Copies of this chain bind each other. A is one copy, B any other.
């Protein structure tokens, strides 16, 4: 099962210190994880990244640099976000071990899994966390919870490896028997944009307003880990709704 580690992607967002990128590469390779995506690193490439990577320079050389979280999670059926603190609207939250068990099930069902790590000082933004199916919290000492970035990557990759080594029996095999593959993150994102437009079209939301409703809907549709067929159905409903509105007033509404 260890070859499934090839389908695990580590994403670092807006990393400030290149040494942490190097330490991440080393921690990943030690655990057999190789796919690294960097979202707009502050200073990279950098010598410090290379020497902290030690024998894991190949992970750095193969790292992909992108500008947005959307690009970073492209193609992933399950997206985990590391979170140091509680948020206003709570999201499903698991420790690294349970997260790895859930990720393992998803990997075995044929999905790609992304683990997102935020900035050294501020972690992930709320917007980034809302793109995640669930959040991972490393249960640190409350009196001193600021884990070094490389150390956090080490713990998560270690748990991924332990899960795939089969130390712990699966608690539920539901996803193994699912009838459709999970939707990929980009398709779900497009659906959320479409949904927001329809909610404006039907005067449920005001255009340009920001409120908790979209956040709650986003949470609802991410924590469920939608499959591809479900996203097709939901998109079909949104299109039908727009067509029905247009046919009744003869106007035109952009999809």
Q: Are A168 and B237 CB-contacts (below 8 A) given A151-B27, A177-B90? A: no
Q: Are A139 and B86 CB-contacts (below 8 A) given A30-B144, A224-B223? A: no
User: How many copies of the chain does the oligomer comprise?
Assistant: 2
Q: Which residues of B contact A169 (CB under 8 A)?
A: 95, 139
Q: Give chain A's interface secondary structure class.
A: helix
A112 lies within 8 A of chain B by Cβ? no
A161 lies within 8 A of chain B by Cβ? yes
Q: Which residues of B contact A216 (CB under 8 A)?
A: 229-230, 233
A249 lies within 8 A of chain B by Cβ? yes
- B167, B199, B220: the one contacting A95 at CB < 8 Å is B167
Of the candidate stretches A64-72, A103-111, A240-248, the one touching chain B is A240-248
B93–A174 touching, CB < 8 Å: yes
A170 lies within 8 A of chain B by Cβ? yes
Q: Are A161 and B148 CB-contacts (below 8 A) given A98-B171, A167-B97? A: no
A244–B177 touching, CB < 8 Å: no
A244–B199 touching, CB < 8 Å: no
Q: Mark A142-183, 1 if CB is under 8 A from B, else 0.
A: 011111101100110010011001011111011001110000
A1 lies within 8 A of chain B by Cβ? no
Of the candidate stretches A122-130, A186-194, A201-209, the one touching chain B is A201-209
A162 to B15, CA, bound (A): 28
B30–A236 touching, CB < 8 Å: no
A31 lies within 8 A of chain B by Cβ? yes
Q: Whole-angstrom distance from the CB of A52 to the nearest CB of chain B?
A: 8
A87 to B51, CA, bound (A): 30
A165–B139 touching, CB < 8 Å: yes
Between A and B, 22 residue pairs with Cβ closer than 8 Å are A54-B146, A55-B146, A86-B177, A94-B174, A97-B162, A137-B170, A139-B162, A139-B165, A139-B169, A141-B161, A148-B150, A154-B155, A155-B155, A155-B158, A199-B237, A202-B237, A202-B240, A203-B240, A216-B233, A220-B224, A245-B245, A248-B249
Interface residues of A (CB under 8 A from B): 23, 26-27, 29-32, 54-56, 86, 89-90, 92-98, 137-141, 143-148, 150-151, 154-155, 158, 161-162, 165, 167-171, 173-174, 177-179, 199, 201-204, 213, 216-217, 220, 223-224, 226, 229-230, 233, 236-237, 240-241, 243-245, 248-249
14 additional contacts (CB under 8 A) given A27-B148, A29-B141, A213-B233: A23-B148, A30-B148, A54-B146, A55-B146, A93-B170, A93-B174, A94-B174, A95-B162, A95-B171, A137-B170, A155-B158, A202-B240, A202-B244, A216-B233
